[in-house]
Amino acid sequence: MRSLSFRSLRIRLIAIVLLIDCIAAALTTTVVIMNARTNTRREIASSMQLADALVGDTIRLLRDMPPAILLRSIDLHFQPVRHIKISVIDAEGRSVAALASSSDKATDDTDIHDAPEWFTRLIAPPIERNRFQIVASGQKIGTVVITSEPSDEINEAWNYVRALVLTAFCLNAAVLFVLFILFGRILEPLTRLVSGLKHLEDRNYAVRLPSPSMSELSIIADHFNKTAEALAVAYQSNRSLNVKLLTAQDEERRRTALELHDEVGPCLFTLEAGATAIARMSKDRPELTRLHDRALDVIDIVSQIQSINRRLLDRLRPMALGQIPLKDCLIKLIVEFDSTDIAPEFEQTIGELQESYGAVIDLTIYRCVQEGMFNAVRHAQAQKIVLTIDQKDALKRQFVFVQLSDDGIGLRRPFKPGVGLAGMRERVEALSGAFNLESSSSGTILTVILAADGGDVPVEAFEGSVVS
C-alpha cells in the first residue's frame, strides 16, 4: 500500500505526467473550440450570402406572376441551404411556407449527437435575420425571412470534440498505464535501496545491493555497498571494543571484590573475634563495665561493616555467579529481594536456561533483573512486580528474553535515566542486545533480549514478540 501512496515517487511522476496531459488537453480543447467558433461563423456567413443571392434572384424571376400564385409557388424555387431557414410570410404576417433547413435533416442522422447547452453557448454566433420584400404589380404581398441556423454546424463540432476527447482519453490512459509499469521497473533499484537502508538501520551490515543497469543508480548502489562494508567493519570493531571494556570492568570489579572478601573480610572477622573476647572477659566485672560496653559497640560496628561489605561484594560482582547455574543465582537474588521490607507482591516465571551464557552475559542478565526490581520499588512505587525470564528459539538461534513489569506510577516526565538504567542500557547495547523501556502512568515494562551465542539480536528476533 505504501507504494501506492501519493508520497511515492512513482505516483508523483505519474501525477506530473497526468498534470501535463491535463494542461495539454485544456489547451487543445481551447484551440479546437476557438477554431470551431471561427469556422461556424464563416459557414453561417457564407450560407447567409448564398441564401440572400438565391432569394433575391428567385423573387426577381417570379415577380411577374399573379400575386395569388406568387406566394404559394415561390417556395418551389428555393432549395434547402445549409445552416439556413427560409420562411415566407404574407402581407398579414401569416406564415405561408417554411422550407426545411439542413439542420432538420441532421436530426435524422443517428451518428450525430446534439451538443450540450454549455458547448452551444461557447460556439454559437449571434442569430442573423435578413428580410426580402415580395412585391407584385407595385404592391407588397409578403416577406421572405432568412434566419441563420448554426445548430447542425455546432453538433458536428461537438461530435468532433467528443471523438477527439474520447480518443485522447483512451490513448492517455494506455500511456499512463505503460508509464506506471515502466516507472515501477525503473524505480525498483530505489526500492531495493530503501530496503537496504532499513537493514542498515536494523544493524544488518551484511546487506549488499546489486548493481543496476543505469549508471546513476549504479553509482548509488556502489557507494551504498562501500558504506555498508565500512559500517560492518566499524560495528565489529566497536562491538569488540565494548566487549573488551565490559570484560575489563568486570575483571576489575572481580579483583576488587576478591580483595574485599579475602583481605577486609578476615580483618573484620578478627576484629569481631577480639571484641567478642574482650566483652566476654569484662562481663560481670563492675570495674570493667565501660570496657565491656565499648567492646559491644565495636561488635555492632563490625557487624554493620560486614553487612556493608557483603552488599559491596554483591554490587561489585555476585560471588555465586560462575559457581552455580545462572537460574539458581537469579532465584537467590529474587528470594533475597522478596525477603526485604520494601518488597511488594512478586510473581516470577523462569524458564529453562543454560547453566551459563558466559561471564559477561550472565552478569548483564543478573544486573538487569537486580536493577529493574529495585527501580520498580524506589522510583515507580510499585505494589506488584511480574518477572519473566525464558530462552526462546528464533531464526535458528537462541535468545534470552527478560521482561520486568510493574503497576507503579511510571517514570516521571521529562524522564532522565539514572546511573542504573543507563548502565543497563550500555551493557545490553555493548552486547548487541535489545533494550526497551515503556513507561506510563499505569506502570513500566522493561524488556531485554540477548543472543545466547553473544552475537547480534536482529529486529526479526523480537519485533512483535511478547515474553510469556
Secondary structure (DSSP) of 290-316: HHHHHHHHHHHHHHHHHHHHHHHHHHH
How far apart, in whole angstroms, are the C-alpha atoms of residue 360 and residue 110?
90
Provide the pLDDT for residue 3: 47
Rounded to 5 degrees, φ, ψ at 15 are -65, -40
Cα separations in angstroms, 421 against 312, 340, 435, 446, 451: 19, 22, 10, 10, 20
Q: What is the pLDDT of residues 359-406, one digit of tens each?
A: 888 888 888 888 888 888 877 788 888 999 999 887 778 899 999 999
Closest CA to 101 of 67, 120, 132, 127: 127
Q: What is the pLDDT of residues 412-460, one digit of tens each?
A: 665 555 567 777 888 888 888 888 888 887 888 999 999 888 777 776 6
Q: What is the pLDDT of residues 273-284, one digit of tens each?
A: 888 888 888 887
Task: Indicate the pTM of the whole model.
Answer: 0.54
Closest CA to 84 of 45, 114, 134, 110: 45
Cα separations in angstroms, 33 against 144, 161, 171, 416, 423: 33, 8, 21, 70, 77
Residue 338 C-alpha cell reads as: 522478596
Residue 36 C-alpha cell reads as: 470551431
| Paired sense of beta strands 95-98 and 397-406, if any | unpaired
**H, E, C per residue of 184-206:** HHHCHHHHHHHHHHHHHHCCCCC
pLDDT-derived band of residue 110, with 50, 70 and 90 as boundaries?
A: very low
Cell numbers 543496476 correspond to: 212
